[in-house]
Structure 1
Amino acid sequence: MKASVFTWEYPPAIYGGAGVHAKYITMALAKLIKVEVRTLDIGAPPEIEGVNVLRYQSTLRGLATGDPRIIKALQVLSFNMNMVADPIDAAIVHTHTWYTNFAGAMAKRIYGAKLVATVHSLEPLRPWKREQLGAGYELSSWMEREGLLACDAVVAVSRDMKADIQKAYPIPASRVAVIHNGVDPQKYYPRDGLESVAKFSIRKPYVFFVGRLSRQKGIFDLLNAMDGVPEGTTLVLATGKPDTPEIEDDLRAALKLRNDVVWIREMLEDHDLVNLYNEAAVFACPSVYEPFGIINLEAMACETPVVATRVGGIKEVVVDEETGLLVPPSEPAKLAHAITRIVEDPTTGTTMGKAGRRHVLRQFTWDRIAAKTLELYRSLT
């Protein structure tokens, strides 16, 4: 069997959970079947054993300069068309996010492949995307809808996501399989990380946040929560690409009033990322919308306790009072209280951290996720 995986994000250009998923699921599937990846042509070509990577560009050529937000969505559409211009001989086409969903629908019609899509988020549930895409949000939503309705099977990364899919689109429950994301416990593991703490001049104890700079991630709730944690606690924000210039400006303005925050504004190298997970007193995930949240698995694999919001797939990853603490979204005071509990009681934090890694090893390895994905493929052919 051969699968052709369509994804906007792929090494070296990864800035979110969907890209992490695409990288590791293709690596794990390549141990079991032939795997081809069709992705964006950016950065140095990746060399991943067993995975044939084909890279494509947007070729949008307008005569005038339009709204750049709309142009971005149209560029994605042209990228989708270019991906399916090359013949596809795979039995399965598997798409990830609205950036490639529509290409999957075209590939099914043109080449007769069975179509699978993994849903990492849903455009109808992310209205703040209008700030990022303007009227292009209508196009991204349409591309997602057409791509998902064409699927022979849809993968939801959590039970909550399955329910959301069925609310958003007329897709029968029998066509939606829940297959969680995973983590590589050989990459994310307990170790001394003080080298990276010194590199970024971080004062311990610290609360660690990793994520895209987006309204979705609840970063301003976390900033407000820091007013209620023990004095001397540092917040380390490792933020990737901002959704919009405006949100970056808002964060910069908020940080002018604080001296307890270290802002790392670029994607961390893997070595530093794992080190900073390990040395954190708490990993914080204050999202207001989070279909899964791979970052929580990464922290847990490093034996770091997690404080996260009780939303979406997070509830299926973090075991409250066992591997971390869950709090309601958009309530900074409760977030602060949970962080304080762990910062002031390192023994409890250590116990939760060790329980977190055990939980990861039992349920969330990529080999386990790949086996479930292959089982789904085989049910379609």
Structure 2
Amino acid sequence: MKVGLLTREYPPDVYGGAGVHVEFLAQELRALTELEVHCWGEGEAEGVLRHRPADGLAGANEALRAFSVDLAMAAELQGRELVHSHTWYAALAGHFAKLLHGVPHVMTAHSLEPLRPWKAEQLGGGYALSGWAERTAIEAADAVVAVSRGMRDDILACYPAIDPGRVRVIHNGIDTRLYRPDHDTSALQRLGVDPSRPYVLFVGRISRQKGVPHLLRAARAFDPEAQLVLCAGAPDTPATGAEFRELVDELDRARDGVHWIPETLPRPQIIQLLTHASVFVCPSVYEPLGIVNLEAMACGTPVVASAVGGIPEVVDDGRTGLLVPYGARHPESFESALAQAVNRVLDDPPEAARMGAAGRQRAVREFGWERVARRTYELYEEVLGRK
């Protein structure tokens, strides 16, 4: 089976959960299909074709630049039997290939544009274009993959024209051979984190979606003995970045042990940070699944997370971590509950260790990439069988 996998992010240019998903899915699919990856970037490698926005669109709106990449991808997909796109950045390429080459289009929705209104701050009028692209592609796709049951509900609510029978839940995965406890502390020492003190860890983008301002305000009430480590970069907008810096500076004046790491760290260093964290925090206000929670669990670390989207399908409340209800109308209540949950884990190291061990077991048992790839391949066969 000749498959074209379409994505914006692909190693070495991975900055979010969708990129992680495609990276590991592609590794497993290569054993099952004749796979060709189409992504953004420069240069080529075996089985990987990289595309860049049209030169004439330098400085243009990001959505228009994305559309130019979609056109380039579609032109190169001749001979593929099926195409599989990820995120709105590549969805139109899949839709164009379906129309141009007469092949089925499978689309994985990692998030939904109607549920991310803050993207208008980043894309301006391009947000209307990204929404149009997503709607056009998802409503015409032969099959839609939702990365959680919560995400499937959101897809059908946002796009009621879609036949529910075309929407299939296939959870994200985690490579538990790669993400596993690493007890070395050299990365912590290099980054200035004190290994002898407990610390709370956040890893993610500086965006409205990730709820970082909530975390920083909640951290005012964290146990003063605990450090806070923020692996946070790539702000959505200058304004979002400025707000983050202001909150970090304010927190840094009020307590010690605040470590902001703005650069993207190599994966081995992230794994060390995850391993030694007393608790990992995911304060997202919108999260279709949240691969980063799986990464923390695979490293044996308890998770405190907001109970939104697909997170409750990953974090088993009371067993592998604690879930905190999120309400946009009462952010102070959410922040207070977040602080209480974090302190509860910090105050009971034996219970935290039990949660961490249970999280590792759950990640190994239920979220392996081989299983994800096999279910994805079975969906390909089903879609092709309809033709």
The TM-score bracket by the shorter chain reads over 0.9
User: Which has the larger displacement, 310-319 or 31-40?
Assistant: 31-40
The 5 Å alignment of 1:241-256 reads: 241-256=234-249
2:189 to 188, 194, 198: 198
Q: Deviations over 1:46-72 (max 9, x none)?
A: x6xxx610011110525xx9xx6x611
The 5 Å alignment of 1:145-184 reads: 145-169=135-159, 170-184=161-175
Cα pair 2:77 2:97 within 8 Å, conserved: no
What amino acid sits opposite 1:124 in the alignment?
P
1:143 to 127, 133, 150: 133
Instruction: Tell me the CA shift for residue 221 of structure 1.
Output: 0.8
Instruction: Tell me the CA shift for residue 194 of structure 1.
Output: 1.2
1:61 to 29, 37, 56: 56
Q: Which residue of 1 aligns with 2:7?
A: 7
What amino acid sits opposite 1:298 in the alignment?
E
Q: Deviations over 1:289-348 (max 9, x none)?
A: 000000000000000000000000001000000000000124111001110011111101
Instruction: Tell me the CA shift for residue 360 of structure 1.
Output: 0.8
Q: Indicate whether 1:360 and 2:357 are aligned.
A: no
Cα pair 1:107 1:113 within 8 Å, conserved: yes
Q: Deviations over 1:195-216 (max 9, x none)?
A: 1110111132111101111011
Q: Which residue of 2 aligns with 1:101?
A: 91
Q: Which residue of 1 aligns with 2:78?
A: 88
Cα separation, partners in 2 of 1:239 and 1:122, compared to 1, 3 Å: same
Instruction: Tell me the CA shift for residue 88 of structure 1.
Output: 2.2
Cα pair 1:15 1:240 within 8 Å, conserved: no
What amino acid sits opposite 1:53 in the alignment?
V
2:325 to 323, 328, 334: 328
Q: Which residue of 1 aligns with 2:40?
A: 40
Gaps spanning 5+ residues in structure 1: where?
A: none
What amino acid sits opposite 1:302 in the alignment?
C
Structure 1 Cα separation of the partners of residues 264 and 276 of structure 2: 18
User: Which has the larger displacement, 162-171 or 274-283?
Assistant: 162-171
Structure 2 Cα separation of the partners of residues 297 and 173 of structure 1: 27
Structure 1 Cα separation of the partners of residues 2 and 259 of structure 2: 45
The 5 Å alignment of 1:305-344 reads: 305-329=302-326, 330=331, 331-344=334-347
User: Which has the larger displacement, 124-133 or 195-204?
Assistant: 195-204
Structure 1 Cα separation of the partners of residues 352 and 177 of structure 2: 22
Q: Which residue of 2 aligns with 1:273?
A: 270
Q: Secondary structure at the match of 2:323?
A: strand
Cα pair 2:220 2:251 within 8 Å, conserved: no
Q: Which residue of 1 aligns with 2:291?
A: 294
Q: Secondary structure at the match of 2:70?
A: helix
Structure 2 Cα separation of the partners of residues 288 and 258 of structure 1: 21
Cα pair 1:209 1:238 within 8 Å, conserved: yes
Q: Indicate whether 1:261 and 2:223 are aligned.
A: no
Instruction: Tell me the CA shift for residue 230 of structure 1.
Output: 1.0
Instruction: Tell me the CA shift for residue 257 of structure 1.
Output: 1.8
Q: Indicate whether 1:233 and 2:230 are aligned.
A: no
Instruction: Tell me the CA shift for residue 193 of structure 1.
Output: 3.5
Structure 2 Cα separation of the partners of residues 206 and 88 of structure 1: 51
Structure 1 Cα separation of the partners of residues 9 and 231 of structure 2: 19
Q: Secondary structure at the match of 1:312?
A: coil
User: Which has the larger displacement, 270-279 or 201-210?
Assistant: 201-210
Instruction: Tell me the CA shift for residue 87 of structure 1.
Output: 4.0
Q: Deviations over 1:156-212 (max 9, x none)?
A: 001111011111111111000000000000111012141111011113211110111
Structure 2 Cα separation of the partners of residues 133 and 372 of structure 1: 34
Cα pair 1:60 1:74 within 8 Å, conserved: no
Structure 2 Cα separation of the partners of residues 240 and 183 of structure 1: 22
Structure 2 Cα separation of the partners of residues 360 and 373 of structure 1: 19
Cα pair 1:193 1:274 within 8 Å, conserved: no
Structure 1 Cα separation of the partners of residues 305 and 157 of structure 2: 25
Cα pair 1:191 1:278 within 8 Å, conserved: yes
Q: Secondary structure at the match of 1:121?
A: coil
Structure 2 Cα separation of the partners of residues 55 and 296 of structure 1: 29
Q: TM-score, normalised by structure 1?
A: 0.95
Instruction: Tell me the CA shift for residue 240 of structure 1.
Output: 3.0
Cα pair 2:85 2:107 within 8 Å, conserved: yes
Instruction: Tell me the CA shift for residue 258 of structure 1.
Output: 2.4
Count of aligned pairs between the two proteins: 371
Q: Secondary structure at the match of 2:15?
A: coil
What amino acid sits opposite 1:192 in the alignment?
H
Q: Indicate whether 1:217 and 2:210 are aligned.
A: yes
Q: TM-score, normalised by structure 2?
A: 0.93
Q: Indicate whether 1:134 and 2:130 are aligned.
A: no
